[in-house]
Structure 1
Amino acid sequence: MNPSTRRGFLSRAGAAAAGLAAGVRAAHAIEPIVRKGPPRVKLGVCAYSYRSLLTRKEDPMTLEAFLEKAAELDFDGVELTSYYFKDTSPEFLRRLRARAFALGLDVAGTSVGNNFCLPAGPARDKQIENVKKWVEHSEALGAPVIRIFAGSKQKDQSDADVHKILVETIEECCAYAGQHGIFLALENHGGPTATAEGTLRILRDVKSPWFGANLDTGNFHGADPYAEIAAVAPYAITTHVKVEVSAAGQKPQPADFPRIVRILREAAYRGYLSIEYEAKEDPLTALPRHVKAIREAMRET
């Protein structure tokens, strides 16, 4: 494929996989996604939000029960976090996909934990293998996108070395993901992606039509987290919304949901805004309240 048509290709692929549309881009850098049509934000929930229930020793919540809870709260879709799969057999994945469909839920995406900063060797190979395995699982689940991390810089690694490793590794995984029609979405999650600047540097240097950002609204901790959210929003193909935002030197504050929705709409975002709940209150009591507040922001903004 001619590299100058990357964003044109993203438009065609996204129409089938994630509702994205894009124009022409330069050969060596991703540009903000140019989306056709008005902004369209759908509300989802990450399985991670119920981690305390999914991992408890006595009577843990099952993924099927998580789907039931998501339907009860009238979410549009779910993100299925890989950590909570006790079974990844084809039979189980088909059954879970069918259950989500029967409940009227999209499997909006999956998510993995990975460290792509590791130097070449067996440890990094294992990380790559796991992401590729989840590409196959995501295809079976009908999920169009996988949330990935950059990882953390290792001792004695230079910033330049880490960046080179990240770009090469992500491109390798994107090439495999693209063969299965799956996007990879890089989350701003500490390390090289702790800031908008660091996140954008990776986004712009990875050359793949199957790559974009998983914007996490709670993971920027600079002087102005909302400015960093706005900087990455034009590159987002999926988004996590946290119920708190923490600026540098300040205690966590309740997230300004109307402001977040406004930022996404100003970026003409079309995709999922999935709640990733991390606060202390029990998710069974807290999430209905936060869902209501986010829905109000989506209606009024």
Structure 2
Amino acid sequence: MPKLAAFPKAYMQELCKDGTMSVSEWINLAGELEVDGLEWYSGFLEMEDHENWTRFRKEVQDQGKEIPMLCCSPDFTHPDPEFREKEIEKQKYWIDMIHELGGTYCRVLSGQRRPELSREEGIQLAAESIEECLPYAAQRGITLILENHYKDDFWEYPEFAQKMDLYCELVDQIRHPNFGVNYDPSNAILAGDDPIELLKKISDRVVTMHASDRYLKEGTPEDLRKEEVGVEGYAERLQHGEIGQGLNDYDAIFGELKRVGFDGWISIEDGVEGLDQLERSVSFLRGKISEYWP
């Protein structure tokens, strides 16, 4: 049966930029949630102090939870080899981080969709960089998970392998026992793709999932396209919604995951309107998991 984790989507600014929330405060808040674990983020300000790693692991365990996966954002599509090598070293550092936190999954991405980058070059650079990290991950028992990503909170350009065809081609390039897919249905919608069509193409490679629901506060997907490059983070019109109330068909999603024998972690990206919203999303997903994995 899949397990549920929570990610502090509502508190990224406080935890990663201005420091107005401590990681311990987030752990205590999340302790009230009926989840099995907390998805971690490499950019929490307090993670810069290595001594905090084991402390936070214990604090989470004291809440009866674990830290299964680490969200981080390597940028492997930069044309400069020295830049990419530094990103590979960062990824290895993040692999060490999740290993010490007690988890087994570490996110990887392709990188930013820079205007000068060709399709062939982007896939090659991303695949080669990920493959260079895999032996290091395998030595530590970590699985690298490639997300069908939209855009990191602190990136200027969207994900290179955002579109379904590019993403699937990149996934197909990499065959390793310590490599899998982190599926995010909302990101497929933002890419203009059908999330169920994407899932059916990659479901046998899915080992973790991000559960979210998105909607556009105003305008159209075409308006979003015009706003997603050249500025840091997400466009203003893009909103995270309560799970089960947005555009995703969770019956179709869970039906396909059940069909392929999925039993991994589902991490909730929600709660931007408060902990009550996050609790409702947890309840919705608990109900769906019980329905499909009775």
Say whether the fold is shared (TM-score over 0.5). yes
What residue in structure 1 maps to residue 7 of structure 2? 46
Instruction: Kindly state the Cα deviation for residue 249 of structure 1 after the two structures are TM-superposed.
Output: 6.5
CA distance in 1, matches of 2:104, 2:8: 16
Q: Which amino acid aligns with 1:269?
A: F
Instruction: Kindly state the Cα deviation for residue 223 of structure 1 after the two structures are TM-superposed.
Output: 4.8
2:242 is the alignment partner of 1:257: no
Gaps of 5+ in 2: 151-158, 224-237, 240-245
2:184 is the alignment partner of 1:216: yes
Q: Which amino acid aligns with 1:290?
A: S
Report Cα offsets for 1:14-34 as digits up to 9, x if no partner: xxxxxxxxxxxxxxxxxxxxx
2:154 is the alignment partner of 1:186: no
Q: Determine which of 198, 217, 241 is the counterpart of 1:228.
A: 198
Q: Determine which of 79, 92, 95 is the counterpart of 1:132.
A: 92
Report Cα offsets for 1:56-84 as digits up to 9, x if no partner: 74x72222222222221121111101121
Instruction: Kindly state the Cα deviation for residue 52 of structure 1 after the two structures are TM-superposed.
Output: 4.6
CA distance in 2, matches of 1:300, 1:292: 12
CA distance in 2, matches of 1:64, 1:259: 36
Q: Determine which of 267, 283, 286 is the counterpart of 1:274.
A: 267
2:72 is the alignment partner of 1:112: yes
Instruction: Kindly state the Cα deviation for residue 87 of structure 1 after the two structures are TM-superposed.
Output: 3.3
Count of residue correspondences: 259
CA distance in 2, matches of 1:135, 1:223: 31
CA distance in 1, matches of 2:45, 2:203: 30
CA distance in 2, matches of 1:155, 1:113: 19
Residues 16 and 43 of structure 2 are in contact (CA less than 8 Å); yes or no, is this contact kept in structure 1?
no
Instruction: Kindly state the Cα deviation for residue 120 of structure 1 after the two structures are TM-superposed.
Output: 4.0
What residue in structure 2 maps to residue 31 of structure 1? none
CA distance in 2, matches of 1:260, 1:182: 26
CA distance in 1, matches of 2:68, 2:200: 22
Bigger Cα displacement from structure 2, 127-136 vs 282-291? 282-291
Q: Which amino acid aligns with 2:279?
A: P
Quick one: structure 1 residues 231 and 70, their matched pair in 2 at CA, closer, same or farther if it must change by over 3 Å? farther
Q: Which amino acid aligns with 1:138?
A: I
CA distance in 2, matches of 1:268, 1:298: 13
1:4-43, aligned counterparts within 5 Å?
40-43=1-4
CA distance in 2, matches of 1:89, 1:118: 28
Q: Which amino acid aligns with 1:257?
A: Y
- Superposition RMSD on alpha carbons, in Å? 2.5
Instruction: Kindly state the Cα deviation for residue 138 of structure 1 after the two structures are TM-superposed.
Output: 1.3
Q: Percent identity, please.
A: 26
What residue in structure 2 maps to residue 289 of structure 1? 280
2:83 is the alignment partner of 1:123: yes
Aligned to 1:72, the other structure's residue is in SS state coil
Quick one: structure 1 residues 93 and 223, their matched pair in 2 at CA, closer, same or farther if it must change by over 3 Å? closer
Report Cα offsets for 1:181-206 as digits up to 9, x if no partner: 21110110144422333222111211
1:53-64, aligned counterparts within 5 Å?
53-55=14-16, 57=18, 60-64=20-24
1:238-249, aligned counterparts within 5 Å?
238-244=208-214
Residues 217 and 245 of structure 1 are in contact (CA less than 8 Å); yes or no, is this contact kept in structure 2?
no
Aligned to 1:146, the other structure's residue is in SS state strand
Residues 16 and 45 of structure 2 are in contact (CA less than 8 Å); yes or no, is this contact kept in structure 1?
no
Instruction: Kindly state the Cα deviation for residue 127 of structure 1 after the two structures are TM-superposed.
Output: 1.3
Instruction: Kindly state the Cα deviation for residue 287 of structure 1 after the two structures are TM-superposed.
Output: 0.7
Residues 149 and 189 of structure 1 are in contact (CA less than 8 Å); yes or no, is this contact kept in structure 2?
yes
Residues 175 and 208 of structure 1 are in contact (CA less than 8 Å); yes or no, is this contact kept in structure 2?
no
CA distance in 2, matches of 1:127, 1:163: 16
Quick one: structure 1 residues 99 and 223, their matched pair in 2 at CA, closer, same or farther if it must change by over 3 Å? closer
Aligned to 1:105, the other structure's residue is in SS state coil
